[in-house]
Copies of this chain bind each other. A is one copy, B any other.
Amino acid sequence: MKKTGKTRKHRSLTTQMIVTRAMELADKEGFDTLSMRKLAGALGVTAMSLYNHVAGKDDLLHLMLNRVVAEFESPDIGGAWEEMMRRRAHSMRRALLRHRWAPMLLMSEIAIGEEILRDTDATVGCLVTAGLTYAQADWARNAIDSHVYGYTLQELNYPVAPEEYKAAAKQYLPMISKADYPFMHAAALQIIDGKYDGMTRFDFGLEIILDGLNRWLVKG
């Protein structure tokens, strides 16, 4: 197992490389199949080598989550807050769909880090600059984030793709007892008949919230 002397193994690993590769693997093959051994293998290295650059799997996870948040679009200070929040929400959604493993962890981990602070600061900053109090800004941000994370997470784990709703409804209709679940039964029929496409909508909830916030602010 001697070194050839040319293939440099030493000094060839960085934290950035590890995080990048980990995200690629998580994106492609799923987060739960990502093990330290597998990640190390993908980098041509043994598992324990990673521990020279990363404190542990938890630490790696936080670094990955920070990278995801880095993809969120920062609202401009001084911009029209509604439009800024809308743009941020859409960019969050795109980032979360790119990294399907992220939403659950972003919500359920105590996630702090440079990029997460930056995002929070810019968001609160935009709202406060637009005239909201810190309390109002915090509540607004929380309502929006709850929706973005909540909606996206539910959507990501929905078992059938939108273009298969009709077929799925046909397939499962006989399993939905009309006596026990009359409304679900009727809903399935509506989807089959093409009266409703079965898709919930991200923007629907988002606009309800933005509009509601706006009205509440105007009212005082």
The bracket for how many chain A residues form the interface is 35 or more
Task: Give the residues in chain B near A108, CB-CB below 8 Å.
Answer: 104, 153, 156-157
Give complex CA distance A63, B138 in Å. 36
Binds B, one of A36-44, A45-53, A78-86, A116-124: A116-124
What sequence of 0s and 1s flags, for each residue 84-122 of chain A, a beta carbon within 8 Å of any chain B beta carbon?
000000000000000000001001111000000110111
One of B157, B180, B186 near A110 (C-beta < 8 A): B157
One of B159, B176, B190 near A134 (C-beta < 8 A): B190
Task: Give the residues in chain B near A125, CB-CB below 8 Å.
Answer: 182-183
Contacts A142-B151, A200-B139 given; indicate if A183 touches B124 (C-beta within 8 A). Answer: yes
One of B118, B133, B190, B212 near A208 (C-beta < 8 A): B212
The smallest beta-carbon distance between A159 and chain B, in angstroms, is 5
A209 at the interface (CB under 8 A from B): yes
Is A200 touching B124 in the complex (CB atoms < 8 A)?
A: no
Residue among A143, A145, A154 having the largest count of chain B Cβ atoms under 10 Å = A143
Give complex CA distance A138, B195 in Å. 13
Contacts A109-B157, A151-B146, A208-B216 given; indicate if A133 touches B196 (C-beta within 8 A). Answer: yes
Given A104-B107, A149-B154, A208-B208, 8 other A-B residues pairs in contact with their CB atoms under 8 A? A117-B180, A118-B181, A121-B181, A121-B184, A138-B196, A146-B205, A149-B153, A212-B212
